[in-house]
Structure 1
């Protein structure tokens, strides 16, 4: 073996030994631990931007009385109700005005959720010319949709909205069939409709009294008394297609925003009698004479506080409502013989 080849072999052996002796472990990434609860879907600044965009959309559509301008920031049922208010404004030559809606928040809560839909709720400042604040329900239906106004209610006088987590913390999203409450959100809306239809409903005692229910009953009774010489009046409520929209409260309960359809029907039951419709119902009719039946259909959004199961007081409290006449139907074939 030549001296050069021997030297080369020695050099290779020494180099290999040095590499083996100096081997160190490469640094490994240390990811942050996943949070126990999902982060809030929105921060305060983003929520403020969304509310400003909803406000601008409403202002433009309200000025033009054009429901086509509401989307995509105003969705059903809010979109249907606002469109109905525009129709009433036109039909009454401006005697009816859409309800003022403001978005300036007093209190806001957003969902802490990984999936969709992602709700948010806002208690607003009091609109100009009004006496009570609104509760707005917002939602992002899927990742490609913007946050939109889903519905609104006027809060009842003297109501205290249960505390919800602030946007920095986030509140749990509550699905329609969520357990852990005295009733699931969808059960709450369905049972409330039953109590509107039947004073003696098996669920009547589950709900606190509220101004919307009292007004609906008294107005129907007064109308029935007023037209008894010619016919009768009745009202029936049912659960509508949208919702409910729900967000957890700090005590483990939930704010539930649901939609109902309420139908007020005037029936002429006395042959050869005369009966006419009045108010906004008459404004949407070509002829206000009631030949058989005339029915006014209203979309109603109602907000509830639903306590957690096992709470000391398990009474469900309606906290606000808004009703808008959306359509009028007539059936002349139902005339008395």
Structure 2
């Protein structure tokens, strides 16, 4: 996914300079408002406008990280991205460790611009791969209404070795799809629901054959295996369960691919529950979990909550292919001992 040199140069964002501008002005300048004329066709943002939007988002992310102030996120983040970033900043402040905050580069190798003349609508961007990141990030930005700015709605890290589907050039634009779109092998909503079931029940899922095996399923499966082995000790006699569901109240974002399929992004809520014999003390196995637990006394029950995002490729209708994971994020945002 290598961008043309001219486009990539336009898409580069100087994070330090943008942060300075934000500090001097007190608020980010709004990007030019897209023309809401329902007769318009083609992309609703030019590449330069989209790059400007991404620069504003990046400046807010940088400023909030430097100040550890989640309130600075509100002008340019929304939905799952806002909730997750707030949690990350709180954890980083508690632990004094900025490594727990997801790094989102400010340079982009591909822009995926919507053509829809209705709202809400979503644009996407794929970052460059840096020396610090194993894989690029895929970002989704949502515009809720004609005069609202685009805000970062979610992100995933692309899976290692994945081949991304092709999209229409940003100069032409790509169609946002409804959650119940019926031109695909599965509607975006059904794809997300079924994938959540596969993550929860694994090989016992009735939908396992619809999806390729992937790194996220392996990650959750390996963690579950480790926890079960730890809890299945004579002096612990514990249990482990996992439940994955589409996050309540969050829309699914979908965009048409060049082959007639779709890229689908969705928020998932993952809940892991561990119990042990009376008197045992279960402590969080992750750095984020320990920070979220804070000074609370451990008990024989531990409930870890994760706010996750996934991106799926759903083939076109009647295609002889499986749904494929493109990327995911797995971020712990809660801990409970009850």
Q: Tell me which of 81, 91, 98 is aligned to 1:78.
A: 81
Q: What SS is found at the alignment partner of 2:293?
A: coil
Partner of 2:221: 217
Deviation at 1:93, TM superposition (A): 2.6
- For the pair 1:181 / 2:184, whether they are aligned, the reply is yes
Distance 1:235 1:287, change over 3 A: farther
Distance 1:80 1:273, change over 3 A: closer
Partners of 1:84 and 1:49 in 2: how far apart? 26
- For the pair 1:121 / 2:124, whether they are aligned, the reply is yes
Residue 276 of structure 1 contacts residue 289 of structure 1 at CA under 8 Å; is this kept in 2? no
TM-score w.r.t. structure 2 length?
0.83
Partner of 2:142: 139
Larger radius of gyration: 1
Partner of 1:56: 59
Q: What SS is found at the alignment partner of 1:150?
A: strand
Which runs of 5 or more structure 1 residues have no equivalent in the other structure?
A: 1-33, 332-337
Residues 287-306 of structure 1 mapped to structure 2, 5 A cutoff = 287=295, 290-306=298-314
Deviation at 1:278, TM superposition (A): 3.5
Partner of 1:236: 243
Deviation at 1:92, TM superposition (A): 1.9
Partners of 2:38 and 2:86 in 1: how far apart? 43
Partner of 1:316: 323
- For the pair 1:170 / 2:173, whether they are aligned, the reply is yes
Distance 1:119 1:287, change over 3 A: same
Residue 74 of structure 1 contacts residue 149 of structure 1 at CA under 8 Å; is this kept in 2? yes
Q: What SS is found at the alignment partner of 1:77?
A: helix
Which runs of 5 or more structure 2 residues have no equivalent in the other structure?
A: 1-36
Deviation at 1:95, TM superposition (A): 6.8
- For the pair 1:65 / 2:72, whether they are aligned, the reply is no
Distance 1:298 1:264, change over 3 A: same
CA deviation vs aligned residue, 1:76-108 (integer Å, no higher than 9, x gap): 110111111112212223274201002321111
Partner of 2:258: 250
Q: CA RMSD in A?
A: 1.9
Partners of 2:111 and 2:241 in 1: how far apart? 38
Residue 278 of structure 2 contacts residue 300 of structure 2 at CA under 8 Å; is this kept in 1? no
- For the pair 1:130 / 2:130, whether they are aligned, the reply is no
Partners of 2:193 and 2:295 in 1: how far apart? 35
